């Protein structure tokens, strides 16, 4: 368990520092990275961490993913709170480092709605549901497909960030949104990014069960 927690902390730190760092670096050097570059950063860092720490912890890197996998009986309940705690700690370490580098930055990469908050809420539910559905589906796919899980999940995150980033920020991850929001004191819409991903993660489970064979989301269920 110690190695698993260390893997989740490290992986989430790398994810949040690279992803929100790309947003910060682009804002202080306009045009150097751009929206496409930011989306690719999020997708590629998840891909890299999936293979770097996935064999140790499963590379959840996201409280919504952990909760979704627990609800699907893929991880035991005793693992949920420790995983979420270290994911949040890793995210705060990343935002703390960015704050030390750019103390005057107004958002530190926090996710903020561009338009009505409910638009972002709906998008975040949908985006997270698709993400968790893909994670569940890949783990019950043909054996030849499963080794490509990191590529597939990273591609989904990059794709969703490409088209939804300009509206909601495409967080899909409460830890990724919480840390920069607190570090930059931008808390006005934080509830959207804490609640919506959890709702989306839970919504993915019946969708997976309907589309795939009955009980697919409980394959390898914890005992």
The 10s digit of each residue's pLDDT in 20-47 is 999 999 999 998 899 999 999 999 999 9
* Position 60 confidence tier, pLDDT thresholds 50, 70, 90: very high
pLDDT score of 145: 76
Q: How far apart are CA 26 and CA 43, in angstroms?
A: 17
Residue 65: inside a domain, yes or no?
yes
21 token code pair: 């760092």
Give the domain extent around 162: 2-218
191-215 average pLDDT score: 87
Cα–Cα distances in angstroms (integers) from residue 137 to residues 61, 63, 116, in the given order: 18, 19, 32
Q: Is residue 218 scored above 70 in pLDDT?
A: no
pLDDT tens per residue across span 165-180? 999 999 999 999 999 9
Residue 223: inside a domain, yes or no?
no
Q: Are residues 182 and 114 in contact, defined by beta-carbon separation less than 8 angstroms?
A: no
| Domain of residue 106, CATH code | 1.20.1080.10
Q: Are residues 173 and 110 in contact, defined by beta-carbon separation less than 8 angstroms?
A: no
pLDDT score of 214: 55
Burial class (CB in 10 A: 0-12, 13-18, 19+), 211: exposed
Q: How far apart are CA 165 and CA 154, in angstroms?
A: 15
pLDDT tens per residue across span 80-89? 999 999 999 9
Q: Is residue 222 scored above 60 in pLDDT?
A: no
Q: Is residue 75 scored above 60 in pLDDT?
A: yes
How many domains, in total, are found in the chain? 1
Provide the strand spans (E) within the chain. Answer: none
Residue 193: inside a domain, yes or no?
yes
Residue 154: inside a domain, yes or no?
yes
Mean pLDDT over all residues of the chain?
91
88: Cβ contacts below 8 Å, ≥ 6 apart: 63, 175, 178, 179
pLDDT tens per residue across span 94-150? 999 999 999 999 999 999 999 999 999 999 999 999 999 999 988 776 777 788 888
pLDDT score of 150: 87
Question: In which residue are the tokens 């860092």 written?
Answer: 45
151 token code pair: 């590529």
Residue 82: inside a domain, yes or no?
yes
Residue 160: inside a domain, yes or no?
yes
Q: How far apart are CA 186 and CA 129, in angstroms?
A: 25
Question: In which residue are the tokens 């520092």 written?
Answer: 17
Which candidate, 46, 57, 72, 16, places its Cα nearest to that of 193? 16
pLDDT score of 223: 32
Residue 92: inside a domain, yes or no?
yes
Which candidate, 213, 179, 191, 149, places its Cα nearest to that of 13? 179
* Position 197 confidence tier, pLDDT thresholds 50, 70, 90: very high
Residue 100: inside a domain, yes or no?
yes
Q: Is residue 213 scored above 80 in pLDDT?
A: no
What percentage of the chain carries pLDDT values higher than 90?
80
What percentage of the chain carries pLDDT values higher than 70?
94
51-78 average pLDDT score: 93
């Amino acid at each position: 368990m110690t190695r698993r927690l260390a893997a989740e902390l490290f992986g989430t730190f790398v994810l949040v520092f690279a992803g929100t760092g790309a947003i910060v670096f682009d804002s202080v050097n306009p045009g150097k990275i751009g929206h496409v570059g930011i989306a690719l950063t999020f997708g590629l860092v998840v891909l890299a961490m999936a293979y770097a720490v996935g064999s140790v912890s499963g590379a959840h890197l996201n409280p919504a993913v952990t909760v979704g996998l627990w609800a699907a009986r893929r991880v035991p309940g005793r693992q949920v709170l420790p995983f979420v705690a270290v994911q949040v700690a890793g995210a705060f370490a990343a935002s703390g480092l960015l704050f030390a580098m750019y103390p005057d930055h107004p958002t530190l990469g926090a996710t903020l709605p561009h338009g009505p908050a409910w638009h972002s809420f709906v998008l975040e539910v949908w985006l997270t549901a698709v993400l968790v559905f893909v994670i569940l589906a890949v783990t019950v796919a043909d054996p030849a497909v499963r080794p490509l899980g990191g590529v597939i999940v990273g591609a989904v995150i990059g794709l969703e960030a490409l088209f939804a980033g300009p509206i909601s920020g495409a967080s899909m991850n409460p830890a990724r949104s919480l840390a920069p929001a607190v570090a930059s004191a931008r808390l006005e819409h934080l509830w959207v990014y804490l609640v919506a991903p959890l709702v989306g993660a839970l919504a993915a489970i019946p969708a997976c069960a309907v589309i795939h064979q009955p009980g697919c989301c409980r394959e390898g269920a914890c005992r």
